[in-house]
Structure 1
Amino acid sequence: MTIKNKIFLSYVLLLIVPLLVITLINYWTSKDMIEKKSVDQFYTVSQLANRQFDQYFMDIENLSMNIFQGKIVQKKLSQPLYSHREPTIDDFEQEKEMTHFLRGIYKLKPGISSILIYGYNGRNYYYHPKRSWNAAYDATREPWFKHTVAKGGAWVLSGRREEKQLYNKFDRRPEEVVTFSRVIKSLQSFEPIGVLAINVKIETLENLAGVNTGPNKLIIYDQDGKPVVASTGFDPRLQGNEFLQVSTVSPYTRWKSAYFASKDVLIKESRQMRNFMMFITVLLLVLASVLAHFISAGIVKPLRRLKAKMKAVERGEFNSREEGASVRNDEIGELTYGFNHMLERIEMLVEEIRRQEQQKREAELSALQARINPHFMYNTLNGLRWAAMMEGNHRIAGWITSFVYLLKFSAKNQDALITLQQELELLRHYVELMKMRNDQFDFRLQVDDNIRHHLVVPFLLQPIVENAIFHGIVPSERKGVIEVNVYCRDRMNVAVIRDNGVGIEEEKLKTLLLPASPSDQGENFNKIGLSNVSDRLRLKFGLSADLQVKSRLNEGTEVIVVWPVIGNEKEEQPDEESFAGRR
């Protein structure tokens, strides 16, 4: 029997799948039906919540008209503020009359927190049974006040806010309220004379909506979409799809009532029926699985072994060949034979590619390292010629010694890596040669003694210091400083080369590390040198190495070189007279 016939037989035996599909269809159908009926019911409940609020604020609007038209209110807001005379007994009587008037309005509607009147003539009045006027607070800066003034005479309903105009000396926390406000106009001239604010307690609105009664949740949003009242501890943003939401908008307040009902509660009975059907389905599935196991065993086991071998190949284990390919005569045997043959070919190709890449890297390293020598000798010989002409032969011996050391190193060294101590010795000789040509810079070197045996590519620091001299210090035409600091951090070698020269323009800085073109040869060694160092670092150490250049015009340049720590058990000390490379 072929593998195709075995798989077909296994699927035929699993006839339990249609029963599972029917169970799920029945469940989702009943679930959708329950949700649809619930939406209709909750829509009605949401409308009732809106009507409760509408009726309450209609009553508040009527009270505001009573205050608006009150004789004492019109009189006090139309009078100028007595700022240049002592208040009279009549003034005190009118103040008491105003307080008595506001107290009477306050008692007409339960749930009101406070009533405040802001007169444009500087007179302010309020009534709150437990709080006092905060003269240091200016409510005219609040958004609700500005919105009310902008509306002219129409009423404005704020969202949930903190009333800071009134305070209690025993409880400094602001009271949370919703403010019903409108501009008060003179009944004689119809000009604005003040602003009325009626604050409603949040608890009153919560009781009206019944937000904390029953298993379902209710949130009332203001016109800006911010919650005014909500069921305690309920945040719809954290619930995902666990709740069914129905919302309506009040045509009077423009507030939205959103009703949330738990889907788990709604479809509880439907879920119980589904669970029973699922139990029957699982029972039949277990019986069918036992029978299918013996039939599919001959298919699954060899495929699993082959899968494990493929995983091993992904990890680079190309010797993970599958045995027994010649024993089976079905499709699995053919697949195993093809897999083994593919591994042999891949192993051969990987080895060939590895050998070619190694040869390519060695050739590139040799070519890149060789590019640095002609320009270096050009500068050195020019320095020797200049010194001989200007100063005679007094210090030529020392300079020639340094030059011979560098020349021997370049000619004899065949190592791809040298110790940091050798690299620093090369750098010291190079700086000595450069000082004979141009002594307008100080050179400072700081190295951690514990890392001198670490390995580095040859001529890593010299091209960077050369750039600092000829492209940083020399053009500045002043005494400069070049600092080299080498240390180890987090198993990475770090070399920082700084100068206080002329710096590099921003546009040139962007292209500094790009590959050099033939036109970049000669005097534009600034770009070639840094690109050479960056290429050699990447070729030898890969992506773990890095070279960064930071510079600001007329402030100097900083080059940061990072490469991984490769230790050398035996630290070599360079010889002044001869060079012996590591073997």
Structure 2
Amino acid sequence: MTIKNKIFLSYVLLLVVPLLVITIVIYWESKGILEKKSIEQFHTVSELANQQFDQYFTDIENLSLNIFQRPIVQKNVSEPVNPGHQRTRDYFDKEIEMMNFLSGIYKLKPGISSIIIYGNNGRNYYYHPKKYWNSAYDGRQEEWFKKTVARDGAWVLSGKRDEKQLYNQYDKRPEEVVTFSRVIKNLETLDPIGVLAINVKVETLEKLAGVNTGSNKLVIYDQEGKPVVASIGLNPRLQGDEVLQVSSVSSFTHWKSTYYASKDDLIRESRQIRNVMILVTVLLLLVASILAHLITSGIVKPLYRLRVKMKAVERGEFHSGEDLFSVKRDEVGELTRGFNHMVNQIGMLVEDIRRQERQKREAELSALQARINPHFMYNTLNGLRFTAMMDGNHRLADLITSFVYLLKFSAKNQDSLITLQKELELLQHYVELMKMRNDQFQFRLKVDERIGNHLVIPFLLQPIVENAIFHGIVPSNQKGLIEVKVSVCDQANVAVIRDNGVGIAEEEQRRLLLPAKQSKQGENFNKVGLSNVYDRLRLQFGASADLKIKSSPNQGTEVRVVWPVIMKEREGQTDVERFTG
């Protein structure tokens, strides 16, 4: 893509992107506000529905109390019935008396479908303006009846059900009702004498709830979560949309009123705002395109000439005797001047790199020449070793061997990592030399046979052992013991170096881990101190490596070194076994 097209696109995006963001923000904010207001409105509708139901069934409860407390009910339901007198005049008089009473109660509250009293004495009383008693059906076996008996006087409100106890020979379809029921008790003995059931028409509850509210629907669920009043089925479109629902639970009936609404209908206004903003964005895009074309035309030409110079730099031409062209006092001019300065700086840096490469090669040559003198010294020491062996002084020959090994290892080793086997060989040779100088200590080494090919930084253990000799054993003026144990634990190498010397004070422990210039440690034979060991460990292995000193005056010292396991491929069996034991 050319710079002209990029600038053109940038101008367009600078206008389009903010407008799109603003459009999206306004759309989502308006959508959120509408949803919030709708939720508040729907919650109010649900609460109103619950209040209507609470008031209605409170009245029904008062009617139920009025019914079973009346003497006529107490008398006719509680007195025993003689099976031989069921068809007497007195029997029918009582039925007519109870029917007239229940008829009066029926008229007190609109919406009641029927009132039924099941007497424990075998007598049943009811009132329905158009239906009669179905002797072939026993309502006592229904679930609502059993729950009512179990509540022992407390009222029970059933869900929606079909009333089959009453029927009409011309319309045999059972009526959908909700039953408010309770046990009737003898007011004197408090013994249960029957069950009262007040059936309420479902259509009455629908009118109370006002479920038909346009495209939005209200559903009333009973205590078991089954719908009592529902009108979602009247609107198939609502079931296919993303639906917002708000619920509230009645404190009296414990029914849940849930208001359902289509989110698509709720956000219709916010979509209109979105469409207007999109139209504005398109118009501004056209304006931005024209402005971008005019502006980019004045920028492309000088940038094209700058590109020619950049091609020359790619060919290695870093220096130019004059400016490219008359530089203007604008951003493009600043870019041109900056480019010229950068090219000159790069040219000087290239020359510096070339000079440093020449100096590096000269230094490598000098280092190669400097190795001649160490080779002469190694050959001389080897001559002394052979002389000692010829004279039968094998102890001296072994010491010279150890000394030569240390010198060669210190001078030639350039590797960042070596095997533990080599590190242990170095330590053994060093200890042999130290015993010649001061045979005041005993040395023990225990090594896990599996770790001979594990990698470690050079001169890890030797400086710590040297510190134990000169700062722990020698100052004690007694025969000492230095133990070195190397093992593997939880995918990490662990080296523990202990001595029974004079110990180290806490302040001295901190000083030993300071950099050499701050700690003023005496130089070792390889100029490697404890602080250097710690720094090299962290540099090589990071935070997974650590070095800790545990000591106190006259209690000896323990240095614990931990670093991760890194394996080196074996080319044969190592001889690490000769260092174990």
- Tell me the TM-score normalised to structure 2 length: 0.46
- Tell me the TM-score normalised to structure 1 length: 0.46
